[in-house]
Amino acid sequence: MLFTNFAFIRRSFLQHSGLPFAECLSEETIAQIHRDAHMPTPVEQAERGTIYTTPVTLWAFLSQVLHKAEHRSCAAAVARVVVLCVALGREPCSDDTGAYCRARARLPLALIQRATLHVADAAQTPGLDGSRHIR
């Protein structure tokens, strides 16, 4: 199920040209960082009925950070989650930003820091052709 795994985060960012760092963060890496943070599993979160599982919250947060101007707002991030729900044939979640903001606040700082450091380290690793992932 999409809301309980980290694969869709990577896939959604790989679809956007100009974001080569997306190749630096695998589903397995995100899942391991999540486990190391001792958070409930995304499946456990979904079983409790939350729409904002860690994968969904992280996806919305990353999309919020990567967009410009008015597309960076919490309302815009929640709108993207609503669209995701509808696209998947699910009931759309509320467009109220409160649940998303609380879920984002629950993301452990360690998860964000480790993911950031992992991307930075991977981006500095030369590719097979001698180039770097990010220029």
The answer to whether 95 touches 73, Cβ cutoff 8 Å, is no
Confidence of residue 3 (pLDDT cuts 50, 70, 90): low
Tens-digit pLDDT profile for residues 60-71: 898 888 788 888
DSSP state of 26: -
In this structure, what token pair is assigned to residue 101?
């903001």
Is residue 104 within 8 A of residue 111, CB to CB? The reply is no
Instruction: For residue 116, count CB atoms less than 10 angstroms from its CB and return exposed for 0-12, middle for 13-18, buried for 19 or more.
Output: exposed
% of residues, the chain, pLDDT over 70: 75
Cβ(85)–Cβ(51) below 8 Å = yes
Instruction: Give the sign of the dihedral formed by CA 132, CA 115, CA 76, CA 57.
Output: positive
Six-digit token string for 71: 């597309």
Burial 30-44 (b: 16+ CB within 10 A, else e): bbebbeeeebeebee
Q: Where are the domains of the chain?
A: 2-123
pLDDT at 41: 87
Sequence letter at residue 96: D
Q: Is the pLDDT of residue 5 over 70?
A: no
